[in-house]
Amino acid sequence: MNNKKKAILVVSFGTSYENALKNSIEATENAIREAFPAYEVRRAFTSNMIIRKLKNRDNYHVDTVHEALNKLHEEGYEEVYVQPLHIIFGEEYDKIKIAVNSIKELNYFEVLELSTPLLYKNEDYINAFEALKKDIADYGVEEGIVLMAHGTAHQANACYFQLQTVAQNKGAGNVHIATVEGYPTIEEIIPLLKSKNYKKLNLIPFMLVCGDHATNDMASEEEDSWKSILEGQGFEVNCVLKGIGESKNFQQLYVNLLRNAITEAASENK
């Protein structure tokens, strides 16, 4: 019988929105907990700003990846898997990789494996689209679906284009991706949206949580919000204030990624 102490570290960017923490991050952690009952499941954030804010505002401490792994070592865990809840392999994923590799060099654990973000291998894009398709099934095909992605200057911004291509190839030509901090911006896809003659646009966060970007940049009444910009262009707009972490379909994708990582590690360590 294998009596090794085993743990899973679930890592997200983090959020200071209490509802988003509960409905997206905690919900996904709980889905992982349920799928892997033999493992202790812990939490870490990659955003030092969020960690500081929660500490100062709520006196609530969340570990960094480095802190969490050190604690697991001190508590005698021998087998640890790190599952990011990040969507792309961008700057935040790089931070996790650096932290995990620095701990690996110390030989703290018999097994320390880093799993992948949501969009990494080619099949991940198909799986993500299928999950999305289930989540948007209630919207009419004559309505546009605009996904708000975070976006980045990192080369991983190209992930959104691959997902967009998968959506088109699968017949979902009404699904469009724009970014807050990358390419394309919402303004840059307006000509395309107009050419489609949509009756209505549904704005949906393609982010783990419904936090600051979704609440303010997407759905607020501010003149520079996506909602205001699109309404100013004559569109009827519906804002969906849910992160993908609230979707059981996307929660299952993270569970599957982790299961694959554990299976691969087991075959490598035989």
Active site residue 73: no
Cβ atoms within 10 Å of 35's Cβ, excluding its own: 17
Structural domains present in the chain: 6-117+247-268 (3.40.50.1400), 122-244 (3.40.50.1400)
> Rounded CA gap, 259 and 36, in Å?
9
Catalytic residue among 86, 150, 176, 213: 150
Separation of alpha carbons 232 and 100, rounded Å? 46
pLDDT at 2: 63
Q: How far is CA 161 from CA 6, 90, 117, in A?
A: 37, 14, 16
Alpha-carbon distance 226 to 213, whole Å? 10
Task: Say how far apart CA 149 and CA 158 lie, in whole Å.
Answer: 12
Q: What is the pLDDT along the chain (270 residues), one digit of tens a residue?
A: 468 999 999 999 999 999 999 999 999 999 999 999 999 999 999 999 999 999 999 999 999 999 999 999 999 999 999 999 999 999 999 999 999 999 999 999 999 999 999 999 999 999 999 999 999 999 988 999 999 999 999 999 999 999 999 999 999 999 999 999 999 999 999 999 999 999 899 999 999 999 999 999 999 999 999 999 999 999 999 999 999 999 999 999 999 999 999 999 988 876
Compute the half-sphere exposure of residue 32: CA atoms within 13 Å on the CB side of its CA.
Answer: 31
| Distance between CA atoms of residues 150 and 22, nearest Å | 20
pLDDT tens sequence across 152-210: 999 999 999 999 999 999 999 999 999 999 999 999 999 999 999 998 999 999 999 99
Q: Distance between the two ends of the chain, CA-based, in angstroms?
A: 16
List, in sequence order, every residue forming a beta bridge with 214; answer none if it has no partner: none
Share of the chain above pLDDT 90, in %: 96
What residue type is assigned to position 225 of the chain? Answer: S
